[in-house]
Amino acid sequence: MSIDSPDKTHFGYQQVPREEKVRRVGDVFDSVSNSYDVMNDLMSLGIHRLWKRQTIELSGVRRGHTVLDLAGGTGDLSARFSPLVGDEGQVILADINASMLTCGRDRLLDEGVAGNIDYVQVNAEKLSFPDNTFDCITMAFGLRNVTDQAAALASMYRVLKPGGRLLVLEFSKVQNPLLGKLYDIYSFSCLPVMGKLVAGDSDSYRYLAESIRMHPDQETLKKMMTDVGFINADYLNFNAGVTALHRGYKA
pLDDT bin (cut points 50, 70, 90) of residue 179 is very high
Confidence band of 5 (pLDDT split at 50, 70, 90): low
50-81 residue pLDDT tens: 999 999 999 999 999 999 999 998 999 999 99
How confident is the model over 96-109, as pLDDT tens digits? Answer: 999 999 999 999 99
Span 184-210, average pLDDT: 89
Model-wide pTM > 0.85: yes
Query: Could you tell me which residue, 6 or 122, shows the higher pLDDT?
Result: 122
Residue 10, beta-bridge partner list: 15
**Average pLDDT over the chain, rounded to whole?**
93
Q: For residue 196, which phi and psi values (nearest 5 degrees)?
A: -65, -45
User: Domains plus CATH for the chain?
Assistant: 47-172+216-249 (3.40.50.150)
- What's the rounded Cα separation, in Å, for the pair 92 and 135? 12
Task: With cut-offs at 50, 70 and 90, classify the pLDDT of residue 39.
Answer: confident
Give the strand order in the sheet containing 243-249: 117-121, 90-95, 66-70, 134-140, 160-171, 243-249, 231-238
Phi and psi at residue 39, to the nearest 5°: -65, -35
